[in-house]
Structure 1
């Protein structure tokens, strides 16, 4: 058998856990309208962009 003060400590901890759960359930929540199945992304129509450039780095 456990000593009474240990039983009381266990009971207090359980009550604190239950109180925290209740407080979490009472808090307001924001639900975002997210799509479950997002539409596939379209590929860019013009792959060869004339503004595309090349950078050469000389590390030597």
Structure 2
């Protein structure tokens, strides 16, 4: 049986440096808001909320 090798590195992109996750975050946020009957956010509004962690998003 062949031996599996571990990855040399695991990269986490938590601030959007490698992947622009704002469209996905905006879609998820707006799905939640729609379920509650609340007005959606524009993608650019959400962009200003991310990058500062959860406290900034909740603010």
Give me the TM-score of the superposition, normalised by structure 2.
0.31
Q: Report which structure shows greater RCO (CA 8 Å, sep ≥6).
A: 2
User: Larger Rg: 1 or 2?
Assistant: 1
